[in-house]
Structure 1
Amino acid sequence: MTRDYRRLHILVEGQTEEIVVNNVLEPYLRGRGWTVSQSIVVTKRSASGSTHRGGVSHWAKVEREIRLLLRNTDLQVLTTLFDFYAFPDDAPGMASRPAADPYKRVEHVEKAIFAQIGDPRLVPHLILHELETWVFAAAEQLGWLFPDPGLAERLKADVLNAGGPELVNDHPSTAPSKRLASYCGTYSKTNDGPLAIADLGIDSLRAQCPHLDKWLTTLDDVKA
């Protein structure tokens, strides 16, 4: 008997997310019965037919890409990997975010995106607050990559003060990515971060990041 499989596509914001999908999430999800593909969002199409990918400033570009991908009827689930930090202000739900804790705010936007698209195969996911949140969860593993003995402790202190990696704030000067750039001038977004996350592992990452854990649980619950 042929084993049932589930086909999942992950639409990502940029190169770093693509690397994390390929090196961390895809092997994990494959082990959970998913056949995984991914693509970086197209932000510009020229008249010559060439495309530009990565980064997003307007919701219309994301919506267009989502709707194009959902034309594939073989796709069982389409999900997203975008930062909640600096997500386009014109996206569904952004203007009406409740004055509540960050988990309720990001879930409000995800639900609004789902309602806007209107396809049950879509599982919107925004990283709270950005992918570097997961690097903060892997503070010890990141510390192994650098000679600065205080780097890991600074990240751990920020996590402790915030109440968890996902709650390290999203102010333009103190968002996780900004803190990493300040703490370590040689930090590489596309190399060091993904390495640290991979070293930490999915199980430990899920234990520290409730919003990420809820997303993966949702995917686990999808039936073949």
Structure 2
Amino acid sequence: MIKQVMILVEGQTEEAFVNRVLQPYLNEKGIYLSTTMVCTKKVKGVRRHRGGIGDYNQVKRDLAALLKSSHFNLITTFLDYYGLPSNFPGQSTLPNGDCYAKVAHLEKELKQDIGSTNFYPFVMLHEFETMIFCDIYSLSDFFSDKIRRLDRLNNIFNEYKNPELINNSRETAPSKRILAELENYEKPLHGPIAIKNIGIDKIRKLCPHFNEWLNYIESFQVS
């Protein structure tokens, strides 16, 4: 039986990643993905999208609409931990501890707030560019003249147990680190291609929280 999964994503880069990379990967396992971006603006009833989420209510509204559909067996999310709005469920009660404890708390609170058995939340640690740090040289096709800068980024990868632990301050989030070395890096253009070059299997090995999400998508039972 083919599983029908809808992923609510944060922006165009994540949408391209799902459509170009993740969907072909999971199609081979009998899982069909659809994707839609969080609507962050409406003009006379027309949906508009822009990068980033300014208000949790935008996410909640879109999830509520998706959960009314009978087309999908599972609704999930692909949202960056870095930059979540302050009114996101669990933000005001974040526990002490490492980032895994914090993201687990946020996902638990999100699932409780949405209140559906057909919903499985996923928040990416710490953002999309985390996956690029699984092999920073995946950007070398675009920045072949900046190998030393890629080497410096790779040294950052080597400082951490895994890429998901590269932290999320305004100065040290994965995307900020890449931009500090590669000022011409463009997330929507370079990101999905770099991820495709790396391959989902390698990312799963290096990013345990991301792997946990895919394990759930692959193993949940259609009722």
Relative to the length of structure 1, the TM-score reads 0.94
Deviation at 1:67, TM superposition (A): 0.4
Alpha-carbon contact 1:159-1:167 (below 8 Å) kept: no
Deviation at 1:175, TM superposition (A): 0.9
One-letter amino acid of the counterpart of residue 159, structure 1: F
Matched, 1:87 2:87: no
Alpha-carbon contact 1:136-1:165 (below 8 Å) kept: yes
Q: Partner residue of 1:52?
A: 48
Alpha-carbon contact 1:143-1:151 (below 8 Å) kept: no
One-letter amino acid of the counterpart of residue 35, structure 1: Y
**Counterparts of 2:219 and 2:180 in 1: how far apart (Å)?**
40
**Counterparts of 1:206 and 1:141 in 2: how far apart (Å)?**
16
Deviation at 1:88, TM superposition (A): 1.1
Q: Partner residue of 2:26?
A: 29
**Counterparts of 2:117 and 2:22 in 1: how far apart (Å)?**
22
Q: Partner residue of 2:101?
A: 104
Percent identity between the two aligned chains:
36
Q: Partner residue of 1:62?
A: 59
In the TM superposition, 1:193-204 aligns within 5 A as 193-204=191-202
Match of 1:129 among 126, 129, 133: 126
Cα deviation 1:174-200 (Å, max 9, x = unaligned): 211111111011112111121111001
Matched, 1:76 2:70: no
Alpha-carbon contact 1:44-1:52 (below 8 Å) kept: yes
Cα deviation 1:124-179 (Å, max 9, x = unaligned): 00110000111111212123431211233222211221322111110101211111
Match of 2:186 among 185, 188, 191: 188
Cα deviation 1:61-111 (Å, max 9, x = unaligned): 100000010000221001111100011111111111111111111011001
Cα deviation 1:28-59 (Å, max 9, x = unaligned): 1111211211011101222x222211321111
Q: Which runs of 4+ in 1 moved over 3 A?
A: none
Alpha-carbon contact 2:31-2:218 (below 8 Å) kept: no
In the TM superposition, 1:164-179 aligns within 5 A as 164-179=162-177
Alpha-carbon contact 1:162-1:169 (below 8 Å) kept: no
One-letter amino acid of the counterpart of residue 52, structure 1: R
One-letter amino acid of the counterpart of residue 82, structure 2: Y
Q: Partner residue of 2:115?
A: 118
Alpha-carbon contact 1:7-1:35 (below 8 Å) kept: yes
Relative to the length of structure 2, the TM-score reads 0.95
**Counterparts of 2:140 and 2:164 in 1: how far apart (Å)?**
19
**Counterparts of 1:113 and 1:189 in 2: how far apart (Å)?**
27
**After alignment, is 91-100 or 48-57 more displaced?**
48-57
Q: Secondary structure at 2:92's aligned position in 1?
A: coil
One-letter amino acid of the counterpart of residue 51, structure 1: R
**Counterparts of 1:49 and 1:59 in 2: how far apart (Å)?**
20
One-letter amino acid of the counterpart of residue 162, structure 1: Y
**Counterparts of 2:62 and 2:54 in 1: how far apart (Å)?**
14
Aligned length: 220
Unaligned runs of 5+ in 2: none
